[in-house]
Amino acid sequence: QVPGSATRKGWLYHDFALPEHGFPTHRKNSASRIKKLRKHLPLYKAKVLDIGCSSGGISLGLALLGPSKVIGVDHDAVAIMLARTVAEKYDIHCAQFEVSKIEDFQPPQVDILLWLSQWMWTVKEHGLEYSKDLLFEIPARSGAMFMVFESAANDGKAAIPGLTQNNIL
């Protein structure tokens, strides 16, 4: 039973990396997302930063594919605790997890930056212009060669009322 903003009591947020336990989930596509990322990103020996990692499903899945390090960051301490527990249980030593709000986070130097879904919460809390600035600042500060970004605007089927991809570009 795991309470927290990124999890609901009794639910594991991602469908990965504990499928053998049959946890019910409210995200059913983590494994397919990992497969797509594996196909399109040079993960071998890369340093990967996953912003808004929640309970680490994507981070942990990618960590099994050969990067030298995967760093997952989320503001939810309970979700990070769960991610750390799973990494420890499965001896996934290249994965590390940090608790931080995005506006306070100092990104390390990485090769690949993932920013999936979490950006919409930044828009809701700080507004579109501030969030757009972060969208360019964080990759520049991290030195990432690749960034995978998901806006989660309405046309991305998530809830930022009245916002479309055209507002983001």
pLDDT at 152 (0 to 100): 58
Structural contact between residues 165 and 156, judged by C-beta atoms closer than 8 angstroms: yes
pLDDT at 161 (0 to 100): 55
pLDDT at 28 (0 to 100): 63
pLDDT at 42 (0 to 100): 95
Beta bridge partners of 125: none
pLDDT at 14 (0 to 100): 54
pLDDT at 6 (0 to 100): 47
pLDDT at 124 (0 to 100): 80
Cα–Cα distance measured from residue 9 to residue 3, given in angstroms and rounded to the nearest whole number: 5
Structural contact between residues 112 and 48, judged by C-beta atoms closer than 8 angstroms: yes
pLDDT at 169 (0 to 100): 52
Cα–Cα distance measured from residue 160 to residue 152, given in angstroms and rounded to the nearest whole number: 8
- Residue-by-residue pLDDT tens, the chain, 169 positions: 444 444 444 445 554 445 455 444 545 677 778 888 999 999 999 999 999 888 888 898 899 999 999 999 998 888 888 889 888 888 899 999 999 988 888 999 999 999 887 777 788 888 888 988 988 899 999 999 999 887 654 444 445 555 555 655 5
pLDDT at 94 (0 to 100): 96
Cα–Cα distance measured from residue 71 to residue 69, given in angstroms and rounded to the nearest whole number: 6
pLDDT at 160 (0 to 100): 54
Cα–Cα distance measured from residue 116 to residue 126, given in angstroms and rounded to the nearest whole number: 17
